[in-house]
């Protein structure tokens, strides 16, 4: 393990894993209200969200930050 990843809480967690866990726990409707992004509100799917979030750094940071703050602890076990 490299030193730069030692303290990274998202090390080993893919964006797809994050989305699946958030959708399973909160659902598309609640995520759409929180993030107000088209990929969550208009015909949402994991595939469309992944495509958008991979191209849009600010949106990805917002989703990852939400996951770390609200969604990560209950599922880490």
Average pLDDT of the chain is 86
- Tokens describing residue 40: 């969550």
Is 54 part of any domain? yes
- pLDDT tens-place string over residues 42-66: 999 999 999 999 999 999 999 999 9
Q: What is the rounded CA–CA span in Å between residue 48 and residue 39?
A: 6
Query: Alpha-carbon torsion 5, 7, 13, 15, what sign?
Result: negative
> Which pTM does this prediction carry?
0.81
Q: What is the CATH number of the domain that holds 69?
A: 1.10.720.30
* Structural domain containing residue 29: 13-75
Number of domains in the chain: 1
| pLDDT tens digits along 6-25 | 777 888 889 999 999 999 98
């Amino acid at each position: 393990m490299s030193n730069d990843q030692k303290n990274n809480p998202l090390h080993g967690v893919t964006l797809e894993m994050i989305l699946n866990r958030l959708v399973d726990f909160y659902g598309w409707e609640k995520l759409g209200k929180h993030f107000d992004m088209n990929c969550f509100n208009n015909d949402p799917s994991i595939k469309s969200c992944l495509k958008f979030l991979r191209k849009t750094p600010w949106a990805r940071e917002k989703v990852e930050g939400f996951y770390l703050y609200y969604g990560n602890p209950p599922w880490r076990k």
